[in-house]
Structure 1
Amino acid sequence: MTLDSYRDHVKPIIDPVVSACIRLKITPDCCTAISLVAAAVAGVGFYLSEIGIGTLCILLNAIFDALDGSIARAMNIQSMRGDFLDHTVDRYADIFMICGIFAGPLCPWQVGVFGLTGVLMASYLGTQAQAVGIGRFYGGFLGRADRLILLIGAGIASLISSALIIGMSIFAWVLLIFGIFGHITAVQRFIHVWKQL
């Protein structure tokens, strides 16, 4: 089960922040844009081996990605356009962060590309379910919230110790997990949708 299914449990923490954003006239689209910038800076940070900056920016990406939809619901201004923008930005954010990790010295590019394909295919199958009329489906082993938590954890662990584990960095192992469980998640989502058609 992915962490995405536990969104309601963090609502008491998010709600006061959402209220503050509304008072400050921060729009959902503004939060979406900030999340994209944070992801891009994270990618650059990882590429330059600035792990602290990269990890902090992933945390900012996660926060603002959670806020955009919450603010839209609180203001009752949800729209298909906003949803489309959010999902587009999320995919670019994934690309920025993961490419930043494997374009630099933190991870072999082969492992990084494998991880990226797993992430993109899992995400694609989640939204493709909606495109064929089944409704959006986010089941499976590895959702976006899970990936962000793993990346933040890898960043913190790497700041504590840069030791290799069986010849690979912590980031390389995380991207390997993204590849393996991302593709498993894609298959799980495919099977779910296929059975509904």
Structure 2
Amino acid sequence: MTLDQYRSVADRLLSPFVSLADSAGLSPDGVSVIAFGFAVAAGAAFYVATPLWYALGAFFVFCNGWLDLVDGALAREQDVASAGGDLLDHVLDRYADIVILAGLAAGIDNYALGLAAVTGVLMTSYLGTQIQAVGLGREYGGLLGRADRLALVGVTGALAAIAPGELVAGLTLVGFLLVLFAVVGHVTALQRFWGAWSDL
């Protein structure tokens, strides 16, 4: 269940946004920084945790995810793809994951659940890059990739704007989302580890 497999479809939709960014004189690194700014805005919106701010947070998450595609496409368009740009993109993506999940957890005042979700997400990403580091290529497989997570956060934020209260077992929609990320994140990390271990 990963949206990353549809990246080629998204790339075809990026053309006008890439042209706009290029015309505005933006660099791929500049787009990456703007995308991170939207992630920070999303985390802050989720921290406020009112219906209006949940809706705004969902919009900010969408902007972060879309610009995360634009920066790579812009680098290819400008023929300036580099190891430095890739490094910056990955670092900002991880910090974006942290601030978004931290905002969600703070908004429902459940920091333990937030910690479990953050570690699951970070371990998933870490395994992807560590597998590459041992020479097996970049690993994007698993139950939930970053595109999936952002889509789920966006949808949950929009739904939380409509139904912000507790549902069952004291958990809100946001609480259930964090549980999902905690469980599936660690399962995906172990899935990637086992696959890579089997290939060594």
Q: CA deviation at 1:107?
A: 5.2
Deviations 1:33-74 (A, max 9, x none): 011111111111111222123222111111111111111012
Q: CA deviation at 1:129?
A: 1.0
| Superposition RMSD in Å | 1.2
Q: Distance in 1 between matches of 2:4 and 2:62?
A: 16
Alignment partner for residue 144 of structure 2, among 137, 142, 146?
142
**1:10 corresponds to:** 10
Q: CA deviation at 1:5?
A: 1.5
Q: Distance in 2 between matches of 1:150 and 1:185?
A: 16
Aligned residues: 196
Classify the secondary structure of the residue corresponding to 1:133. Answer: coil
Q: Distance in 2 between matches of 1:107 and 1:174?
A: 14
**2:178 corresponds to:** 175
**1:116 corresponds to:** 118
**2:153 corresponds to:** 151
Deviations 1:129-177 (A, max 9, x none): 1111111011000100000000000011011222322121111111111
- The code of the aligned residue for 1:74 comes to E
Alignment partner for residue 80 of structure 1, among 71, 78, 83?
83
Deviations 1:101-129 (A, max 9, x none): 1123x252222111111100001001111
Q: Distance in 1 between matches of 2:171 and 2:128?
A: 30
- The code of the aligned residue for 1:169 comes to T
**1:32 corresponds to:** 32
Q: Distance in 1 between matches of 2:60 and 2:35?
A: 9
17-26 or 134-143: bigger deviation? 17-26
Q: Distance in 2 between matches of 1:175 and 1:141?
A: 15
- The code of the aligned residue for 2:146 comes to R
Classify the secondary structure of the residue corresponding to 2:171. Answer: coil
- The code of the aligned residue for 1:180 comes to V
- The code of the aligned residue for 1:186 comes to A
**1:196 corresponds to:** 199
The answer to whether the 8 A contact 1:126-1:137 is kept is: yes
Q: Distance in 1 between matches of 2:102 and 2:199?
A: 35
The answer to whether the 8 A contact 2:54-2:157 is kept is: yes
**1:131 corresponds to:** 133
- The code of the aligned residue for 1:33 comes to V
Q: Distance in 2 between matches of 1:148 and 1:68?
A: 17
The answer to whether the 8 A contact 2:11-2:69 is kept is: no
Q: Distance in 1 between matches of 2:149 and 2:41?
A: 17
The answer to whether the 8 A contact 1:140-1:188 is kept is: yes
**1:41 corresponds to:** 41
Scaled by the length of structure 1, what TM-score is found? 0.95
Q: Distance in 2 between matches of 1:40 and 1:159?
A: 19
Classify the secondary structure of the residue corresponding to 1:168. Answer: coil
Scaled by the length of structure 2, what TM-score is found? 0.93
